[in-house]
Amino acid sequence: MKYILITLLFISTGLTLNSDNNHYRVRLNIIVFLDGKIIKTRGHFEYKNRKNQINQIPFEGTIGEMHLKKNDYNTLKDLKLKDSLCLVINHIPFSNDDIEVYKGKIFYPNSIFNDFTVIRITNLNKRKNNYYFGISTPSVITPFIPQEYNMFEVYEDD
């Protein structure tokens, strides 16, 4: 009887832990370049719900990945093509503790679920908080501008 109670306790604890999707993390393959350099990111996605209210989905990022809660990931997956989605990135430079905030619109919300997504942020005038926000995925590419940093070196054969 004792073993049955212990077994039931372990099973119920396991079910409780597995049913909590909010703690399970999902990764998106998103790389962020700021002025031609790869950065670690933190921030949130913004979208409008059915009542036209702005909701936020926080994420934490490592180099090349953004980590979301499973429920938040599912919410992003459920967005329609016509829905508005913004990406807000908070960046803390090494040189000081001021947080730089960059916000860009993602025109096709489902594009962040491609095999890879590259976010290209180029500061045009830092004092005026003027920057260009570009995105590159296998399905969507925003135009490159002349001020963007070259992220890849070209090697020519002699």
Q: Which amino acid is at 4?
A: I
Global confidence as pTM: 0.76
- Bridge partners (DSSP) of residue 124 are none
> Which pairs count as long-range contacts for 134-137, CB under 8 Å and 24+ apart, including other chains?
135/104, 135/106, 135/111, 137/111, 137/112
CATH of domain 24-136: 2.60.40
H helices of 1-158, in order, are 2-19, 70-77
User: What is the pLDDT tens value at each position of the chain, 158 positions in all?
Assistant: 555 545 444 455 444 444 444 567 899 999 999 998 888 889 999 998 888 899 999 999 888 899 999 999 999 999 988 888 999 999 887 777 788 899 999 988 888 999 999 999 999 988 888 999 999 999 888 888 888 887 666 667 66
- Cα distance between residue 30 and residue 131, in whole Å: 19
Report the relative pairing of strands 30-34 and 117-125 from DSSP bridges: parallel
User: Where exactly are the structural domains of the chain?
Assistant: 24-136
Tens digit of pLDDT for each residue in 77-93? 999 888 889 999 998 87
Closest CA to 83 of 91, 92, 75: 75
CB within 8 Å of 51: residues ≥ 6 apart: none
The C-alpha torsion from 63 through 151 and 44 to 66, rounded to 10°, is: -30
Task: Tell me if 150 sits within 8 A of 64, measured CB to CB.
Answer: no
| pLDDT value, residue 3 | 55
